[in-house]
Homo-oligomer: A and B are copies of this chain.
Amino acid sequence: MVARYERIAAELRDDILRGIHPVGSTLPTDAELAARYSAARGTVRQALSVLVAEGLVGSRQGARRIVLGTSRSQSFAELHSFAQWAGVNGYRFGGEVVRQRRRPPSPAEAERLTTGEVLEVLRLRTLEGEPVMLERTVYAAWIAPAVEGLPADCASVTQALYESTGLVFAYGEHLIDAVAAGSQDARLLGVRRGSPLLRQRRVTTTQEGRPVESSDDRYRAGSVAFSIRNSIGANPLVRQAGDLRFGV
């Protein structure tokens, strides 16, 4: 059973996407929407807060709500799962395990991923037949057996783990920066050594806060970009300084 406010949000989103509420126009007031959907004002406001968080609608006290745009930010699942993102956007995609081995965790990993031997996997991801991303993932010991049971060309690891173990990747922290391609990067992605790559490092946990994996993903430049849409007040992004000692 989907919540009432989610259905209302979905209807309003459809209306915006189909141009019934064009960009720049004002939305109906809380009171009008409450009457139209026979819902309490609080429920309508909850629905609208979803659209505000998605960046579709702008809102300030006293003034009517305004339609800001028609491209919406998408779900965390898509941020986390390459396959899910690619599938939703209609791309043909693939994946292949290049190397996989167990090893004892480094001190930093022991801290992040708890105890036991970790599983290190190197995967090459393709989009429309072209290699676009190199994924170096370290899985926590407790999930390693399930990962080892997957086929080498498993397209969606997230999906496969959900089906085999019911595991849901719930929370994540992501660091995004640019690096030069190393020789392994260059060989597998088919670019020159030193060419720019977009790097996303992430740590993912379950709903209970238990760490699942830590990963270093490198995208070929020009193949993929990250997009963030946000408004004052609602904003999960921060710039972080790296190592400031240049010219080493």
How many monomers of this protein are in the complex?
Answer: 2
CB of A107 within 8 A of chain B? Answer: no
CB of A177 within 8 A of chain B? Answer: yes
The residues in A between 164 and 207 inclusive whose CB is less than 8 angstroms from any CB of B are: 168-180, 190, 194-199, 205, 207
Q: How many residues of A contact B (CB 8 A)?
A: 76
Q: Which residues of B contact A79 (CB under 8 A)?
A: 228, 230, 235, 237-239
Known: A24-B209, A178-B178. A238 touches B227 (CB 8 A): yes
Q: Which residues of B contact A5 (CB under 8 A)?
A: none
Q: Smallest CB–CB gap between A110 and chain B, Å?
A: 16
Q: Which residues of B contact A169 (CB under 8 A)?
A: 232
Inter-subunit contact A76/B197 (CB<8 Å): no
Complex CA–CA separation, A171 to B168 (angstroms)? 32
Q: Smallest CB–CB gap between A103 and chain B, Å?
A: 26
Q: Which residues of B contact A219 (CB under 8 A)?
A: 178
Inter-subunit contact A229/B197 (CB<8 Å): no
Q: Which residues of B contact A24 (CB under 8 A)?
A: 209
The residues in A between 205 and 224 inclusive whose CB is less than 8 angstroms from any CB of B are: 205, 207-209, 219-224
Residue in contact with A230 in the complex, picked from B171, B179, B227, CB distance below 8 Å = B171
Q: Smallest CB–CB gap between A206 and chain B, Å?
A: 9
Inter-subunit contact A76/B242 (CB<8 Å): no
Which among A29-37, A52-60, A135-143 touches the partner chain? Answer: A52-60
A-B contact pairs, 6 of them (CB 8 A): A85-B239, A173-B229, A174-B227, A176-B225, A177-B224, A225-B239
Q: Which residues on A are within 8 Å of B, measured CB to CB?
A: 23-24, 53-55, 58, 60, 63, 66-69, 73-79, 85, 89, 91, 127-128, 130, 168-180, 190, 194-199, 205, 207-209, 219-244, 246
